[in-house]
């Protein structure tokens, strides 16, 4: 489709997002912070309201009508997520609070029970803190060693260096699919294939890819994949872990308590079947149901169409940013069609601090992100304290990019007049 045809789709879906239709500081809101969290369509909000107004009840084991209805809706959401990522079965989807909890689940359940002194874990310097800190803790407790893949000159995942890091000591590779700062799309299928040749397991952080790209865990070949609902039009407080059934069966529970058991005796307990073994306590029922509604919504648009439209927006964003001499963008550039990277740009603007940029842009009703984006090691690797980041979604428009660019130029001119 042409850009104009796709933009018409964007204009149509904007009406589905109540929050977008407001003013901030007296200006129409332009929300360009989608990598931090997405906005929620009305159908997702209504799914939350419907649960609490119509059938609020605890799931599983309940014999009454409301409990049965809640259980059916909760488990239907699991089916939707399983299909969304093309899992082999619904037992391979575990609901968690977010991707961070999902990574910690793997770290403590699998890592603490399978890693020993001298074993090696390969990460990359571009990882979000949630895919570094848990492995640091596990390494400290088990004696495992962390190794890091660095960047190519184009600031992408250095696959040749990754190949040199792999050895028979490698037990785990845990990498991001799409960098939330560099925007690069990592070759996760190739990473999995090579890691498996050495007998290593692979975890993929899909937080920045699941809302924007079609995900197929069987094609990727990963052992685990994690994502957060709040970045994919769902509420906060809900995420999921995909794990190969064989791998999940081999892992002990992460948390103990109600729901995750088969039988409890005073001196021992037996555990439930997958995936309930990993879902201790009352889950985020409403949030999971709303995640299912978000998946339905994304599917109704089509992930291929979302990706194609966002690629067009990305190409246009980079074209406009390139016209501003002070701007330095980090990560690879897209091709002329906007392909080859995610729909975000993290940048610096000479001596102007990212936080100052974000503050003044907010006065114009424009929401962007500033700081280290939970990638402090990456920023140190790049030799910069912070970046400003503009990140797009399928409900953004080219007109919003124009307004952002105009405001950014005015803001930089203002600082130039002060700094001389």
Instruction: Identify the pLDDT of residue 24.
Output: 97
pLDDT digits (tens, 9 = 90+) for 148-182: 999 999 999 999 999 999 999 999 999 999 999 99
Q: What is the DSSP letter of 289?
A: H
294 and 306 co-located in one domain: no
Pull the structure tokens for residue 8.
């018409």
Instruction: Identify the pLDDT of residue 420.
Output: 61
Residue pointed to by tokens 């990963």: 222
Q: Is residue 155 part of a domain?
A: yes
Give yes or no for a cis peptide into 275 (omega within 30° of 0). Answer: yes
- Residues carrying an active site annotation: 374
| Confidence (pTM) | 0.96
Q: Note down the domain range covering 26.
A: 3-31+302-419
**Of the residues 299, 323, 353, the one at which a domain ends:** 299
The full DSSP string for 166-223 is --TTEEEEEEESB-TTT-BB--HHHHHHHHHHTT-EEEEE-TTTTTTS---HHHHT-S
pLDDT digits (tens, 9 = 90+) for 97-152: 999 999 999 999 999 999 999 999 999 999 999 999 999 999 999 999 999 999 99
108 and 131 co-located in one domain: yes
336 pLDDT more than 90: no
CA distance 396 to 32: 8
Report the alpha-carbon angle 356-359-361, nearest 5. Answer: 105
Q: Is residue 265 part of a domain?
A: yes
284 and 173 co-located in one domain: yes
Pull the structure tokens for residue 378.
């990456």
CA distance 112 to 137: 10
64 and 146 co-located in one domain: yes
- Asked if 213 and 86 count as a contact pair (C-beta separation under 8 A), the reply is no
């Amino acid at each position: 489709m042409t850009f104009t045809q796709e933009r018409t789709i964007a204009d149509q879906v904007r009406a589905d997002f109540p929050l977008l239709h407001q003013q901030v500081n007296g200006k129409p809101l332009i929300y360009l912070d989608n990598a931090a969290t997405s906005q929620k369509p009305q159908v997702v909000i209504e799914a939350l309201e419907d649960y609490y107004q119509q059938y609020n009840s605890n799931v599983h084991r309940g014999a009454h009508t409301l409990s049965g209805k809640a259980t059916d809706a909760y488990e239907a959401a699991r089916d939707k997520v399983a299909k969304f990522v093309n899992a082999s079965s619904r037992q391979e989807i575990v609901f968690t609070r977010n991707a961070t909890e999902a990574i910690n689940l793997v770290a403590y359940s699998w890592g603490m029970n399978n890693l020993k002194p001298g074993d090696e874990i390969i990460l990359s310097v571009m990882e979000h803190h949630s895919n570094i800190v848990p492995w640091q803790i596990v390494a400290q407790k088990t004696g495992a060693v962390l190794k890091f893949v660095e960047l190519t000159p184009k600031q992408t995942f250095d696959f040749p260096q990754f190949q040199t890091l792999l050895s028979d000591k490698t037990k785990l590779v845990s990498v991001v699919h799409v960098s939330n700062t560099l925007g690069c799309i990592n070759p996760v299928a190739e990473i999995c294939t090579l890691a498996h040749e050495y007998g290593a397991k692979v975890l993929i952080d899909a937080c920045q890819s699941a809302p924007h790209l079609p995900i197929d865990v069987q094609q990727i070949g990963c052992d685990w994949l994690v994502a957060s609902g709040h970045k994919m039009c769902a509420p906060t407080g809900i995420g999921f872990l995909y794990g190969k059934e064989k791998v999940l069966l081999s892992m002990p529970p992460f948390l103990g308590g109600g729901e995750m058991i088969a039988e409890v005796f005073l001196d021992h307990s037996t555990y439930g079947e997958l995936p309930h073994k990993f879902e201790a306590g009352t889950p985020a029922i409403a949030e999971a149901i709303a995640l299912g509604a978000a998946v339905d919504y994304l599917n109704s648009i089509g992930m291929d169409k979302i990706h194609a439209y966002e690629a067009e927006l990305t190409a246009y964003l980079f074209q406009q940013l390139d016209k501003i001499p002070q701007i330095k963008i980090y990560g690879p550039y897209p091709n002329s069609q906007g392909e080859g990277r995610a729909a975000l740009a993290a940048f610096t603007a000479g001596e102007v601090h990212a936080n100052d940029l974000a503050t003044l842009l907010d006065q114009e009703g424009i929401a962007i992100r500033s700081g280290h984006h939970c990638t402090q090691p990456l920023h140190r690797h790049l030799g910069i304290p912070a970046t400003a980041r503009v990140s797009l979604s399928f409900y953004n428009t080219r007109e919003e990019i124009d307004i952002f660019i105009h405001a950014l130029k005015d803001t930089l001119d203002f600082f130039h007049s002060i700094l001389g």
